[in-house]
Amino acid sequence: MRANLLQDRKALLLAVQTPDISDADLADSLQELEDLAASVGCRVVGKMVQPRARIHPGTYLGKGKLEQAKASMGNCGTDLVLFDNNLTPSQGDNLERALGEMVMDRTQLILEIFGRNVRTHESRIQVELAQLEYMLPRLVGMWAHLDRERGGIGGTKGAGEKQIDIDRSLIRQRIARLKKELRHIAQERHTQNKRRSNCFLVNLVGYTNAGKSTLMNRLTSAGVTVENRLFATLDPTTRVLTRENRPPILLSDTVGFLKRLPHELVASFHSTLEMVRDADLLLHVVDISHPQYEEQIAITEEVLREIGAATNPRMLVFNKTDRLDDKLTLRVARKRNPEAVFISALQDDGGELMAHINAFFEKSMVTTPLLLEYADYGDLSKIYKWGRVDELRYEDDGIHLTVTSTPANLERIRSQLPAAR
């Protein structure tokens, strides 16, 4: 396990409120930053906001506010400053010097959390790739001080600049290697998925901490890690949801979404998210006990659009209903989302949700009569494998069947059994 540099740090949260950010949005954003900090073991000891017409290009905050921040840090023993917005490399550099403590922006913090939660080879590569992609354009800021200190001689490259060239090329090489490895893993998964092509694929999606993994465990006893912290799940897990169905239904759990998810992460988790795009049904899990659940729905929809899953059929699943004291939230949500399912993944048995899932797939199935000649009797098992046999009659000319399945699977039956009509 890698060392957690952030464990037990006392953090000050800093944000600039530009005119386009409402008080409510700012409060939510800071709360989320605090939750992110808590999930790496930091304690937030203070929050400061500066209303400004625009972010200061050099130091993000104005000079006066910066001094105020430094004074407050001294009083609280703060040893980490977290910025709600992303910093440019030079802002980060300037702020670290001005404040004298470790400075991190939102993206860096999220990358750090992902880094801590990797469990498999694949997610380790994905996170490292995102970290390197984030670092690459920032190398200038990291080394520029070397040249500044030497005064830089016109025409020749300074030591810092040379160092940047070396680092850049090393990082690019590493990025290329990681990408190649990810492609290889994705290919293997593709082959695996092909084997599953006669199954229905259901994927859990939703905001981080909504209860996706809890629901996965409830429905399939998959034993996926459940934790009350953000981004507990990074690796996809797939299990059989029902064997009784023809075709069987598989359920996958995957990484959660978040507002302003760094685009480097979305890009490097591409192959994981591809599974979401391939799903026949998305279960969009929502934590209804969260005060901003409606915004979280909108953000999840936005990420789904970004990854090309805008048109996949989906079902809204409002979770954590047991945490609601007031009936009003539930009533409003039911009224606004008459098609949605309301559950508590902790307390319910999931039966109602299963009924909805089955009904959804039932709608896309087709029922057709088939005639199988006695000479092909051995192929009956294929029909049972790819479809549901509703009726079976032995007559003089062969076996008369009524079979229900997806159009694709019925096509498969017909093409594999020349005698089936």
**Sites of contact with ligand GTP (CB under 6 A):** 208-214, 226-228, 230-233, 256, 319-320, 322-323, 344-346
401 binds, among ligand GTP, Mg ion, none (CB under 5 to 8 A by kind): none
Q: Alpha carbon of 33 to those of 6, 27, 384, 403, 419: distances in Å? A: 14, 10, 52, 54, 64
Q: Which helix (H) or strand (E) holds 216?
A: helix 212-220
For residue 118, report the phi and psi dihedrals to the nearest 5 degrees.
-65, 140
Q: Are 257 and 299 in contact (CB under 8 A)?
A: yes
Name the minimum Å distance from CB 234 to Mg ion.
9
Residues 86 and 82: their CA atoms lie apart, in Å, by 10
Burial of 222 per CB tally in 10 Å (0-12, 13-18, 19+): middle
Give the residue ranges of DSSP H helices in 77-209: 89-99, 106-117, 121-135, 139-150, 159-195
Burial of 244 per CB tally in 10 Å (0-12, 13-18, 19+): exposed
> Is residue 123 part of the contact set for Mg ion (CB under 5 A)?
no
320 binds, among Mg ion, ligand GTP, none (CB under 5 to 8 A by kind): ligand GTP
- The residue among 251, 258, 248, 261 whose CA lies nearest residue 287 is 258
Q: Considering CB under 5 A, how many residues would be counted as binding Mg ion?
A: 4
Which lies closer to ligand GTP via its Cβ, residue 50 or residue 344? 344
Name the minimum Å distance from CB 254 to Mg ion.
8
Taking residues 209 to 238 in sequence order and writing x for each that binds Mg ion by CB under 5 A, - otherwise, the string is ---xx------------------xx-----
Name the minimum Å distance from CB 129 to Mg ion.
21
Which lies closer to ligand GTP via its Cβ, residue 149 or residue 227? 227
Name the minimum Å distance from CB 115 to ligand GTP.
15
Which lies closer to ligand GTP via its Cβ, residue 306 or residue 376? 306
Which lies closer to ligand GTP via its Cβ, residue 147 or residue 287? 287
Neighbours of 286 (CB within 10 A): 24
Which lies closer to Mg ion via its Cβ, residue 205 or residue 401? 205
- The residue among 144, 138, 137, 149 whose CA lies nearest residue 162 is 144
Angle of helix 121-135 relative to helix 159-195, nearest 10 degrees?
150
Which lies closer to Mg ion via its Cβ, residue 131 or residue 233? 233
Q: Which amino acid is at 282?
A: L
Angle of helix 212-220 relative to helix 351-363, nearest 10 degrees?
80
Name the minimum Å distance from CB 123 to Mg ion.
12
Which lies closer to ligand GTP via its Cβ, residue 59 or residue 292? 292
346 binds, among ligand GTP, Mg ion, none (CB under 5 to 8 A by kind): ligand GTP
Chain position whose Cβ is nearest to Mg ion: 233
Name the minimum Å distance from CB 391 to ligand GTP.
41
Which lies closer to ligand GTP via its Cβ, residue 59 or residue 344? 344
Chain position whose Cβ is nearest to ligand GTP: 256
> Is residue 39 part of the contact set for Mg ion (CB under 5 A)?
no
Name the minimum Å distance from CB 258 to ligand GTP.
9
Report the SS3 class of residue 326.
coil
The residue ranges that bind Mg ion (CB under 5 A) are 212-213, 232-233
